[in-house]
Amino acid sequence: MKIVEVRHPLIQHKLGLMRRAGVSTKDFRELATEVAALLTYEATKDLETAEETIQGWAGPLQVHRIKGKKITIVPILRAGLGMLPGVLDMIPSAKVSVVGVQRDEATLQPVAYYEKLSGRMDQRIALIVDPMLATAGTLIAAVDMLKAAGCTRIKGLFLVAAPEGLARIEAAHPDIEIYTASVDERLNEQGYILPGLGDAGDKIFGTK
């Protein structure tokens, strides 16, 4: 499985600001948006382009346009919504497929509760966005949904991933690609990533 830890100085700097205890909702949201945009830049490096001739200011010239499969962004409710604006900043015409998966706080098992996908998923590249890849239960459930709808090209963008979750997703879905700003140390007994970000959904929405 392709796992890319994007160790760009801008990403590392912004992620460091997000890790501060007491970070404000405003700062956390803005930084999540910025890091999501930078991860999108990295995750779309291999998109196919085709040459076409246009009329430029000084005459005809060859330019490149993205071709091939169209992108659908897949935010996982609820915290994935915090990364959606950053990805849309980079790919403003992308369709958005929303999936709702929540992990049960006691069992850590994923519970799928919502699915509204773009049409023709077999012809799209799915960019899943979720700040946290912890046990990977949520991601596995989301990928199962996308594959059931015919999607064959899936990438996941995460702010922070745990080694345990990466091993699980690799076993379950080795054909997907993962882009993360950091592979952190481990999970704690409650399934939270250490050092991690705490509860990313609560920080994005200002709850708790």
Q: Are the C-beta atoms of residues 87 and 157 closer than 8 Å to each other?
A: yes
Q: Which residue is nearest to ligand PRP (CB)?
A: 201
- Nearest distance from C-beta of residue 120 to ligand PRP, angstroms: 26
CA distance linking residue 208 with residue 202, whole number of Å = 6
- Nearest distance from C-beta of residue 205 to ligand PRP, angstroms: 8
- Nearest distance from C-beta of residue 79 to ligand PRP, angstroms: 3
Residue 172, annotated as binding a ligand: no
Q: What are phi and psi of 66, to 5 degrees?
A: -65, 135
Residue 9, annotated as binding a ligand: no
86 vs 196, which CB is nearer to ligand URA? 196
* Contact residues for ligand URA, defined by CB under 6 A: 132, 134, 191-193, 196, 199-201
DSSP 8-state code for residue 108: -
Q: What are phi and psi of 6, to 5 degrees?
A: -90, 95
Residue 81, annotated as binding a ligand: no
Q: Are the C-beta atoms of residues 169 and 136 closer than 8 Å to each other?
A: yes
What does 193 interact with, of ligand PRP, ligand URA, none (CB < 5 to 8 A by kind)? ligand URA
86 vs 137, which CB is nearer to ligand PRP? 137
49 vs 188, which CB is nearer to ligand PRP? 188
Structure-derived torsion over alpha carbons of residues 62, 123, 135, 77, reported in degrees to the nearest 10: 90
- Nearest distance from C-beta of residue 34 to ligand URA, angstroms: 19
Residue 145, annotated as binding a ligand: no
Question: What angle, 0 to 180 degrees and rounded to 10, lies between the N-to-C axes of helices 25-43 and 9-18?
Answer: 150
